[in-house]
């Protein structure tokens, strides 16, 4: 018998479960420490997605118990529960889920995560996984014990029963795994939950460690994030093979109808323009071949398209990023937090957004590497830092320009800072199935860099303002102590009253001093801006204070010259040694900030401390 026929007899198909059974490291189970984190991560991610889709503020309880070299991991939520018939499939089949074909942001995308944890559990301990779920008041809770039949990639139920459960609704998963528990390390269950709390400030998490220690990550906001809506693919960046497949699968008989109906942000007029440029006005999309598809791809680049809709994404938002960072770094008393959110962009026809934040100062370590917090669709990325595009961008930025140490102008910076990057997309391009690093996509790389630079500029502005104020303050304190003492002694010697030295101090200082103070009172943030003229002549200029939106400003005093959408504008006229105060109030939930962004025009900025030169219009 020919060798080829002998080899052919050995060929057989394997199931996806069998493949991952032998390659569990691909899914994030390559070490005992990481395996334990991955099991918790997959269960918590599922719980968060379920609660948010049902419009329920998540309350999650994570408990880890030690049994020799095994750990029992329990994750319980207050979500909508799972109907009995679906429980075995959700937890006992790999690549089973509802999100793979859906173009909207979600934590889980492939239908692998939680079933992979079940597979790892049975591989390392031989014990079944126990799932308890209840879909609402008046319904019984169902408790199912199961394992995965890896040859068929199907669940095998060991035991099922109805039980009484006090919860209104929810799901609880209990599984035994071989693992290693570590406390308070960068790569630990605690760090995963802490990071999750930062970017999910609407979530309450109770964590019970193996030694019985209870840690509570309290909810910061009582508002659920906007639920993303499913969208169609976008023309910009769509790949040739994907376009050909869509053309073959469509039921549309005209190219213009196909473009307008099956892509987002394409009107019928835009579709006609694209078809005309490609020379395919009357073409049936089912008949489009390789060369014609190439022409279409080129025509997409020549037509100005609307940006993809943002409602398929669920960004955290600058205010909530700041609230989450402040809550979890409260003990370190940071002096400054800056955040930035980019407008949506596209890669390979897929919308995505980038959000960033920088925490600076306080009790953060000055001589250590900055802490990097990486997130994808609100999920912390704890491993594979070196292979992630986020880390690559951070290394490539010259942080010395912004006030952090960096040897040679490249590499991860050192200094008292935390850098946060969140990428939200309908399809995160992970480098592997373990979903721990984002691939090096040029469009994503560019957006991360622009967003981080914007945050860094805010940090640099804060540091420059702080340094300039510190120098002037030291000079002023020196003068204000010495000159009055000289004046008093001189007056005593000649037997005359102590003269006023305000004008002399003004001549020496020769600046306009601006300082601001932000206080919280009765649910409002009150910003007070004080101006003191230390020059020997009256000064007339315009003061600008940045605001989130004029609709969110509750009160302004004195009456401004003008209030635009993002700025309050006052005309300032101040005499020598005079002090003037300006004030505005905002609802605490509409804005979150430590200091104002203040600008001036009509005066040389060299003579002003506490505000930058205005570069805007008017």
**Is residue 100 scored above 50 in pLDDT?**
no
pLDDT at 26: 59
Q: What is the DSSP letter of 425?
A: E
Q: What is the pTM of this model?
A: 0.74
Least reliable range by pLDDT among 6-15, 274-283, 534-543: 6-15
Q: Are 350 and 233 in contact (CB under 8 A)?
A: yes
Percentage of the chain exceeding pLDDT 70: 89
pLDDT at 212: 93
Residues ≥6 apart with Cβ < 8 Å to 499: 487, 491
User: Which helix (H) or strand (E) covers residue 452, if one does?
Assistant: helix 442-494
Answer yes or no: is pLDDT of 541 > 90: yes
- Element holding 530 (H helix, E strand): strand 524-534
The string of DSSP letters for 541-574 reads: EEEEEE-S-GGGEEEEES--SEE-SSEEEEEEEE
Please tell me what DSSP assigns to residue 10: H
Range name among 343-352, 434-443, 549-558, 588-597 with the lowest pLDDT average: 588-597
Provide the strand spans (E) within 204-257.
204-208, 214-217
- CATH number, domain 310-461: 3.30.230.10
Using an 8 Å Cβ cutoff, are 429 and 441 in contact? yes
Is pLDDT at 143 greater than 90 in this prediction?
yes
Query: Mean pLDDT throughout 550-571?
Result: 88
Please check the confidence at residue 591 and state whether its pLDDT lies above 70: no
Burial 513-533 (b: 16+ CB within 10 A, else e): bbbbeeeeeeeebbbbbebbb
Omega before 558 cis (within 30°)?
A: yes
Burial tier of 164 (Cβ tally within 10 Å: 0-12, 13-18, 19+) = exposed
Q: What is the mean pLDDT of residues 121-140?
A: 92
Of 3-7, 35-39, 90-94, 500-504, the poorest mean pLDDT is in 3-7
SS3 call for 516? strand
pLDDT at 468: 76
- Tokens 């659920």 sit at which residue? 224
**Comparing 19-23, 37-41, 64-68, 425-429, which segment has the lowest mean pLDDT?**
19-23
13 versus 162: the higher-pLDDT residue is 162
Domain spans, the chain = 16-180, 240-302, 310-461, 500-613
Give the H or E element holding residue 320.
Answer: helix 318-328
Residue 491 reports pLDDT greater than 60: yes
Tokens found for residue 110: 């492939």
pLDDT higher at 23 or 91: 91
Instruction: Tell the burial category of 577 from Cβ atoms under 10 Å away from its Cβ (0-12, 13-18, 19+).
Output: middle
DSSP state of 198: H
pLDDT of 96 > 60? The answer is no
- Output the pLDDT for position 163: 93
Residue 112: predicted pLDDT: 60
Categorize the per-residue pLDDT at 14 as very low, low, confident or very high, splitting at 50, 70 and 90: very low
Predicted confidence band of residue 365 (pLDDT cuts 50, 70, 90): very high
Helix, strand, or coil here: 396?
A: helix
Residue with tokens 């900030």: 593
Angle at 34 between CA 178 and CA 422, to 5 degrees: 145
Q: 469: Cβ–Cβ under 8 A, 6 or more apart, which residues?
A: 515, 609, 610
The CA distances from residue 239 to 194, 247, 255, 350, in Å, are 38, 12, 17, 10
Are the C-beta atoms of residues 472 and 513 closer than 8 Å to each other? yes
- The answer on pLDDT for 373 being more than 50 is yes
Res 616: pLDDT:
72
Whether the predicted pLDDT of 335 surpasses 80:
yes
Percentage of the chain beyond pLDDT 90 is 40
Helix, strand, coil % over all residues of the chain, rounded to 5: 35, 25, 40
- Grade residue 110 by pLDDT with cuts at 50, 70 and 90: very low
Tell me the pLDDT band of 396, cut-offs 50, 70 and 90: very high
- Ranked by mean pLDDT, the top range of 21-35, 157-171, 510-524 is 157-171
Residue 550 — very low, low, confident or very high, per pLDDT cuts 50/70/90?
Answer: confident
Could you tell me the fold of the domain covering 500-613?
Answer: Immunoglobulin-like (2.60.40)
Q: What is the mean pLDDT of the chain?
A: 85
Q: pLDDT tens digits, residue range 417-476? A: 999 999 998 888 888 777 889 999 999 999 999 999 999 998 998 888 788 777 776 776
CATH: 3.40.190.10, 1.10.8.50, 3.40.50.720, 3.40.1400.10. Which one for 240-302? 1.10.8.50
Give CATH for domain 16-180: 3.30.565.10
Exposed e or buried b for every residue in 12-40, given b needs 16+ CB within 10 A?
eeebebbebbeebeebbbeebbbbbbbbb
Determine the pLDDT at residue 484.
Answer: 77
> What pLDDT does 207 receive?
96
Rounded distance, CA 159 to CA 145, Å?
Answer: 5
């Amino acid at each position: 018998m020919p060798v080829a026929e002998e080899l052919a007899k050995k060929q057989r198909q394997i199931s996806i479960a069998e493949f991952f059974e032998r390659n569990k490291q691909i899914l994030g189970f390559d070490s005992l420490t990481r395996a334990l984190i991955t099991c918790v991560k997959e269960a918590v991610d599922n719980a968060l997605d379920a609660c948010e889709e049902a419009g329920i503020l998540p309350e999650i309880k994570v408990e880890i118990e030690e049994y020799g070299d095994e750990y029992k991991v329990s994750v319980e939520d207050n979500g909508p529960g799972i109907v009995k018939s679906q429980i075995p499939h959700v937890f006992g089949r790999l690549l089973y889920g509802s999100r793979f074909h859906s173009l909207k942001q979600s934590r889980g995308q492939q239908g692998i995560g939680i079933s992979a944890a079940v597979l790892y559990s049975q591989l390392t301990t031989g014990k079944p996984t126990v799932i308890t779920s209840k879909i609402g008041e008046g319904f019984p809770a169902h408790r199912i014990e199961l394992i995965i039949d890896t040859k068929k990639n199907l669940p095998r139920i060991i035991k099922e029963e109805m039980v009484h459960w006090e919860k209104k609704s929810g799901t609880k998963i209990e599984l035994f795994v071989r693992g290693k528990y570590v406390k308070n390390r960068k790569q630990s269950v605690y760090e995963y939950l802490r990071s999750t709390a930062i970017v999910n400030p609407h979530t309450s998490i109770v964590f019970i460690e193996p030694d019985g220690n209870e840690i509570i990550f309290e909810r910061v906001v009582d508002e659920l994030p906007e639920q993303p809506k499913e969208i169609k693919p976008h023309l910009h960046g769509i790949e040739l093979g994907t376009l050909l497949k869509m053309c073959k699968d469509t039921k549309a008989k005209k190219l213009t109808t196909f473009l307008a109906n099956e892509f987002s942000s394409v009107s019928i007029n835009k579709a006609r323009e694209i078809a005309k440029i490609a020379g395919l006005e009357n073409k049936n999309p089912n008949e489009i071949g390789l060369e014609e598809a190439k022409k279409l791809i080129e025509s997409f680049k020549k037509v100005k398209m609307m940006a993809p809709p943002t409602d398929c994404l669920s960004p955290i938002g600058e205010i909530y990023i700041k609230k989450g960072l402040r809550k979890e770094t409260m003990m370190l008393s940071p002096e400054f937090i800056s955040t930035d959110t980019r407008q949506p962009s596209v890669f390979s026809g897929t919308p995505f957004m980038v959000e960033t934040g920088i925490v600076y100062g306080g009790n953060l370590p000055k001589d250590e590497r900055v802490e990097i917090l990486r997130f994808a669709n609100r999920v912390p990325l704890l491993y594979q830092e070196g292979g992630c595009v986020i880390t690559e961008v951070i290394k490539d930025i010259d942080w010395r320009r912004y006030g952090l140490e960096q040897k040679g102008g490249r590499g991860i910076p050192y200094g008292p800072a935390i850098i946060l990057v969140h990428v939200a997309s309908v399809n995160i391009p992970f480098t592997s199935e373990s979903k721990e690093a984002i691939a090096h996509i040029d469009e994503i790389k560019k957006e991360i860099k622009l967003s981080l630079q914007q945050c860094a500029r805010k940090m640099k502005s804060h540091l420059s303002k702080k340094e300039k104020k510190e120098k002037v303050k030291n000079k002023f304190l020196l003068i204000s102590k010495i000159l009055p003492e000289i004046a008093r002694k001189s007056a005593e010697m000649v037997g005359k009253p102590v003269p006023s030295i305000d004008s002399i101090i003004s001549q020496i200082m020769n600046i306009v001093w601006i300082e601001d103070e932000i206080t919280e009172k009765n649910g409002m943030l009150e910003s007070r801006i004080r101006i003191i003229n230390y020059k020997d002549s009256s000064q007339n200029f315009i003061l600008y204070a940045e605001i989130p939106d004029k609709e969110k400003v509750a009160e302004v005093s004195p009456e401004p010259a003008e209030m635009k959408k993002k700025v309050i504008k006052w005309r300032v006229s101040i005499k020598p040694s005079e002090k003037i105060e300006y004030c505005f109030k905002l609802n605490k939930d509409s804005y979150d900030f430590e200091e104002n962004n203040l600008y001036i025009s009509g005066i040389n900025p060299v003579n002003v401390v506490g505000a930058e030169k205005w570069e805007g219009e008017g």
